[in-house]
Amino acid sequence: MTLTLDELASFLASAGMPCEIDGDKTVTISSVATLEDAGEGQLSFLSNPKYAKELQTTAASAVLVRPDVIVDRPLNLLRTPDPYAAVTAVMVKLHGYRRHPRWGLSSLAQISATAVIGENANIAPGVYIDDEVQIGKNATIYPGVYIARRCRIGDDVTLFPNVVIYDECVLGNRVTIHAGSVIGEDGLGYAPVGEKWIKIPQIGNVVLGDDVEIGANCTIDRATLGSTLIGSGTKFSNLVAIGHGTKIGEDCMFVAQVGVAGSVHVGRHVTMAGQAGIVGHIVIGDNVTIGAKAGVTNSVDAGATVLGQPAVPIQECKRQVAIMQKLPDLKNEIRRLRRELDRLKRDIDAKQQ
């Protein structure tokens, strides 16, 4: 698809994103690229001010910017309050989402006679669907997926290669799970008996709400009792691990290598940056932000931003880091003071003799 800047501006306005053109309205756009990589016929965007210098060198045919951005060179601009949201809408308009291969209902998939498969199923060779599974309409299931007994899966679900869904788990509508992820494996449930660990049966399940997206190679433990819950609209990057019985609210965002232990209650719209680790049996309030590599050992109040190991409010963490950076100078100062003190002691001793 190719659209002029005038057509793109009209499209964005119709989507609730007011947009003004600063330049040639007739310029045509066929794709989207970064400021660094964009060329003729491509649209780029500036959302983060630290990349503003690239406006001076970009070869993009046009750039989405905020209304107050000043560019001191000839450049076609689409001015809009939220360039990031606008470029997302344009990408969907121009490029669309991934188009899946079409297998129909492959004869090389193994599907139990007791499974119920919704209309318009797109199930690849090598898929195994066990007894009493229910799958809604428009499912796309890639090769190597295993869906265990009595799972219930909603409409418009996409399961990429080698996803495993253990027995009795529930997936809502429009769930996407990327390659290699495992949903509903046993949690770390063992009872100490003497010096041995005795396995506790994990008889719960995992429930994913609507519009959840799980990245590649994630693991979500089934609950020992009840359900491990992932709220609607929540998104995981890759290599995220969720412990048994944890309940995560709606519209959360977890970046790669986040680990959450068991029986944690996470509120809605919580962001956890890469490699954050959360101990078990605590509460993370709504709208919390947890910084990269943070080690959270206590409950966090709603709206807080925490960082560090152990995690503390971000301003306190910044003070700690500032002090740590001064430690070499403080060490040298202490050495100097010790030498001065030793000299003064020698002078005093000499005078007393």
Q: Is 244 a catalytic residue?
A: yes
Q: Which fold has domain 110-313?
A: UDP N-Acetylglucosamine Acyltransferase; domain 1 (2.160.10)
Task: Give the start-to-end residue ranges of the domains of the chain.
Answer: 3-95, 110-313
Signed CA dihedral, 66, 72, 75, 76: sign only: positive
DSSP three-state, residue 348: helix
Kindly indicate the confidence band of residue 268, based on its pLDDT and cuts at 50, 70 and 90: very high
User: E strands along 162-222, which residues?
Assistant: 164-165, 170-171, 176-177, 182-185, 190-193, 196-199, 205-208, 213-214, 219-221
Strand 77-79 vs strand 20-22: parallel, antiparallel, or unpaired? antiparallel
The answer, yes or no, to whether residue 273 has pLDDT greater than 90, is yes
The answer, yes or no, to whether residue 291 has pLDDT greater than 80, is yes
- Annotated catalytic residue, options 95, 100, 178, 244: 244
Helices assigned H by DSSP within 56-155: 83-95
The answer, yes or no, to whether residue 353 has pLDDT greater than 90, is no
Kindly indicate the confidence band of residue 11, based on its pLDDT and cuts at 50, 70 and 90: very high
Q: How many residues does the chain have?
A: 353
The answer, yes or no, to whether residue 140 has pLDDT greater than 90, is yes
Mean pLDDT of 188-211: 96
* Interatomic CA distance for residues 299 and 280, integer angstroms: 10
Mean pLDDT of 113-122: 97
The answer, yes or no, to whether residue 114 has pLDDT greater than 90, is yes
Kindly indicate the confidence band of residue 8, based on its pLDDT and cuts at 50, 70 and 90: very high
Residue 327, pLDDT score: 87
- Supply the pTM of this predicted model: 0.86
Kindly indicate the confidence band of residue 106, based on its pLDDT and cuts at 50, 70 and 90: very high
Kindly indicate the confidence band of residue 194, based on its pLDDT and cuts at 50, 70 and 90: very high
Type of residue found at 54: E
Q: Which CATH number fits domain 3-95: 1.10.357.10, 1.10.1040.10, 3.40.1390.10, 3.90.440.10?
A: 3.40.1390.10
* pLDDT tens digits along 200-256: 999 999 999 999 999 999 999 999 999 999 999 999 999 999 999 999 999 999 999
Kindly indicate the confidence band of residue 295, based on its pLDDT and cuts at 50, 70 and 90: very high
Mean pLDDT of 296-310: 95
Residue 320, pLDDT score: 85
> 3-95 with 110-313: one CATH topology?
no
Distance, CA of 320 to chain centre: 28
Kindly indicate the confidence band of residue 314, based on its pLDDT and cuts at 50, 70 and 90: confident
Residue 163, pLDDT score: 98
* Interatomic CA distance for residues 254 and 234, integer angstroms: 8
Signed CA dihedral, 288, 312, 223, 175: sign only: positive
Kindly indicate the confidence band of residue 112, based on its pLDDT and cuts at 50, 70 and 90: very high
Specify the higher pLDDT residue, 323 or 16. 16
Instruction: Name the burial class of residue 80, with classes exposed (0-12), middle (13-18) and buried (19+) by CB atoms within 10 angstroms of its CB.
Output: buried
